[in-house]
Amino acid sequence: MVLFQRGQAIDKKRLEHLYLRERLSMAEIAEKLGCSVNKVVYWMDRHGIPRRQRGEAGYLKHNPRGDPFKIKDRGSDEERELFQLGIGLYIGEGRKSQHRVSLSNTDPRVIRAFLRFLREICGVKEKKIFAWINIFDDTALGEAQMYWCQVTGLPKSQFYQATVRPRRDGNYKNKSRFGTITVGLSNAKLAGILGEWYKSALNKFGS
């Protein structure tokens, strides 16, 4: 820790390195330098160092090791087809959220295809993918979870607590024997990127 005396300046290059390159907060910089937050704020303003937006600061706090995804190049025909399919599925079945990328369905083919899109096109880290089962109370939860684990390739530890609802009349079991599953990840940055992708596709083909 470098202790600063009262009235001593904080070097601009040092501040830029800590704030812009190491992505520390002003409170973390103050702790690292052994000075007050007010002093860091003063010298940030004095040197004209631009502040991060509050949303960006929050994102960095929740993702200290960087983005949990890495968008990949779509060089092959199969990758371009998977990209188009993934965007189409997201437009039709995805939840449009500022903070989450997710899709719900009963069809295992739809779930597998969307997960391939997340894994192979978006480069999402495997441990960041979540799953959530929604079933009626006359369906065996253990059986449904085992089924969806096989479909998704995800371990039980990445499944949220299931939602179990009262049964209903009709032949719904023929259509949804193992309930509905939601898969995706919580990440505002990727949600914004997918939002731009699907809006661009709609503007091109839907106008």
pLDDT per 10-residue tile (average), the chain, 207 residues:
65 87 77 85 90 68 80 92 97 91 96 98 96 91 96 96 81 72 94 91 87
pLDDT at position 55, please? Answer: 65
Q: Do 135 and 37 share a domain, yes or no?
A: no
pLDDT at position 170, please? Answer: 60
pLDDT at position 5, please? Answer: 58
How many residues are recorded in the chain?
207
Q: Do 112 and 200 share a domain, yes or no?
A: yes
| Full-model pTM | 0.72
Query: Is residue 156 a contact partner of residue 147, using CB atoms and an 8 Å limit?
Result: no
Number of domains within the chain = 2
Residues of the domain holding 27 = 12-51
pLDDT at position 84, please? Answer: 96
Q: Do 46 and 84 share a domain, yes or no?
A: no
Residue 148 lies in a domain: yes
Residue 129 lies in a domain: yes
pLDDT at position 67, please? Answer: 86
- Phi then psi for residue 180, to 5 deg, are -105, 140
Strand partners, 103: 94, 183
Instruction: Write down the H helix ranges in the chain.
Output: 12-16, 26-33, 37-47, 54-62, 77-93, 108-116, 141-152, 172-175, 188-205
Distance of CA 161 to the CA centre of its chain: 19
Q: Do 118 and 158 share a domain, yes or no?
A: yes
pLDDT at position 172, please? Answer: 53
Q: Do 198 and 97 share a domain, yes or no?
A: yes
